[in-house]
């Protein structure tokens, strides 16, 4: 693709958004029953604009696509155009609207997979940048977030380089898979020439069964011990990068995102006795309660079980969070995981697992400390981390004049 055409595509993406939003406001554009449904959806949507990005503190939606991109923009100006175009499309997909009329001879402005009304809103687009973006291409080396590195290989990993790292990450979340895929196609269309997919994994969450936290493919509830997202002091301590300190000023309001693609050997797991499964996790499979409790959100009392007679010393919950006071409290992470199912592999084995995604203020203090404690845990015989990456989730887009990465590129 020529340089002129690439730049034109990025400019065109940004220019088309205002027309699309205006079209959504036309009287009679949405029939009355659909308009009422749209109002209900809008009431439940997170705001697109704000200090922080959507899709981090919000409850997980039913479907996701986590996509890593290599940036193909030629220089800093084209990178700016790319991020502006990405912001415009993310805003449009989050808030909804009608496709732009383009006439009968032009390609449709929308894929049509959601029907004639186009985007319904409710998509959260969480954008991150990888360490590789801060090389020599765009003059950003001195502006790299202080703790952003390429994801290392941990002792129990089996990483495939084709499924690791990237210049940019996008997590698209919505209430159904077709809305997520529509969003991905829309963004890919409007940013073509600026970035190219490196790897992609689609995922889903299951309904709570029978209640509480959704379950992973091993049958256990996943994310029970998350910190309270309504506790702003805890979020400031654990999730958000604040002003000052070692971080560049532009990072304030962002968060470090760790993505791990973890295959689960479910056919082997399903041959393990229930009692052994529960002792590996340290929780009851049916209720999600710790083995010394009766309800999912009961707090395990490790002090009363120093030898691990009830909850084994090498159980997942005991290693992940030893509950040793303020030190381990400051190592907690905010999980936002999804299940995946890719059918089967070349050997005919089921290929399914977990898109582990978490947010934190400092990946070395939090995720990596926890990961090192989990080295050699009994579960490693049944899981295989094979991909993912470290990214920095950019600060939020504050208003309609703002865009992803504006402060970074200022």
Tokens of 97: 């609207």
pTM of the model: 0.89
DSSP character for 59? Answer: P
Contacts 24+ apart (CB under 8 A), 339-346: 339/203, 339/204, 339/205, 339/206, 339/216, 339/217, 340/201, 340/202, 340/203, 340/204, 340/261, 341/204, 341/217
The helix or strand, by DSSP H or E, that contains position 96, with its residue range, turns out to be none
pLDDT in tens, 184-232: 999 999 999 999 999 999 999 999 999 999 999 999 999 999 999 999 9
Under the banding of pLDDT at 50, 70 and 90, the label for residue 10 is: low
- The Cα–Cα gap between 205 and 410 comes to 38
pLDDT in tens, 258-296: 999 999 999 999 999 999 999 999 999 999 999 999 999
Percent of the chain with pLDDT over 90: 81
In which residue are the tokens 């926890």 written?
370
349 has a pLDDT exceeding 60: yes
- The Cα–Cα gap between 59 and 54 comes to 10
DSSP strand pairing (350-360 vs 63-71)? unpaired
pLDDT in tens, 140-151: 999 999 999 999
- The Cα–Cα gap between 340 and 392 comes to 23
- The Cα–Cα gap between 207 and 209 comes to 6
- CA-nearest of 269, 296, 339, 299 to 210 is 296
Q: Kindly give the residue spans of alpha helices, DSSP state H, lying in 191-335.
A: 232-238, 266-269, 274-281, 316-320, 326-329
pLDDT in tens, 350-373: 999 999 999 999 999 999 999 999
pLDDT for res 17: 43
Sheet strands (E) in 90-179: 124-129, 168-174
Q: Which residues contact residue 173 at a Cβ distance below 8 angstroms, ignoring those fewer than 6 apart? A: 55, 60, 61, 63, 64, 123, 124, 126, 180
The helix or strand, by DSSP H or E, that contains position 224, with its residue range, turns out to be none
- The Cα–Cα gap between 96 and 112 comes to 14
23 has a pLDDT exceeding 50: no
- Positive or negative torsion for Cα 270, 272, 274, 280: negative
Which residues are paired to 263 by β-bridges? 353, 384
């Amino acid at each position: 693709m020529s340089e002129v055409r690439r730049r034109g595509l990025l400019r065109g993406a940004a220019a088309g958004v205002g027309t699309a939003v205006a079209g959504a406001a036309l009287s009679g554009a949405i029939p009355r029953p659909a308009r009422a449904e749209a109002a209900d959806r809008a009431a439940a949507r997170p705001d697109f604009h704000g200090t922080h990005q959507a899709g981090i503190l919000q409850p997980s939606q039913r479907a996701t696509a986590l996509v890593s991109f290599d940036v193909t923009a030629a220089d800093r100006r084209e990178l700016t155009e790319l991020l502006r175009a990405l912001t415009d499309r993310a805003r449009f997909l989050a808030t909804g609207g009608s496709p732009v009329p383009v006439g009968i001879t032009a390609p449709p402005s929308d894929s049509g997979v959601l029907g004639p009304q186009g985007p319904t809103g409710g998509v959260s687009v969480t954008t991150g940048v990888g360490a590789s973006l801060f090389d020599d291409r765009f003059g950003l080396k001195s502006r790299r977030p202080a703790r952003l590195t390429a994801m290392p290989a941990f002792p129990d990993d089996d990483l495939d380089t084709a499924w690791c790292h990237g210049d940019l990450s996008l997590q698209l979340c919505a209430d159904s898979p077709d809305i997520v895929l529509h969003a991905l196609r829309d963004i890919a269309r409007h940013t073509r020439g600026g970035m190219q997919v490196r790897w992609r994994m689609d995922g889903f969450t299951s309904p709570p069964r029978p209640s509480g936290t959704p379950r992973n493919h091993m049958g256990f509830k996943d994310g029970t011990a998350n910190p309270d997202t309504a506790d702003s002091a805890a979020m400031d301590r654990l999730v958000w990068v604040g002003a000052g300190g070692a971080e560049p000023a532009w990072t304030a309001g962002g968060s470090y995102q760790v993505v791990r693609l973890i295959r689960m050997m479910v056919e082997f797991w399903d041959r393990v006795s229930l009692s052994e499964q529960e002792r590996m996790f340290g929780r009851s499979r049916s209720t999600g309660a710790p083995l010394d409790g009766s309800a999912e959100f009961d707090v395990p009392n490790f002090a009363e079980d120093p030898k691990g007679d009830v909850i084994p010393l090498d159980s997942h919950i005991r290693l992940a969070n030893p509950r040793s006071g303020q030190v381990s409290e400051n190592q907690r992470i905010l999980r936002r995981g999804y299940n995946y199912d890719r059918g089967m592999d070349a050997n005919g084995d089921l290929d399914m697992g977990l898109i582990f995604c978490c947010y934190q203020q400092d990946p070395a203090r939090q995720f990596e400390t926890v990961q090192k404690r989990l080295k050699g845990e009994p579960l490693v015989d049944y899981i295989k981390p094979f991909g993912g990456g470290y990214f920095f989730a950019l600060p939020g887009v504050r208003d309609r004049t703002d865009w992803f990465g504006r402060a970074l590129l200022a």
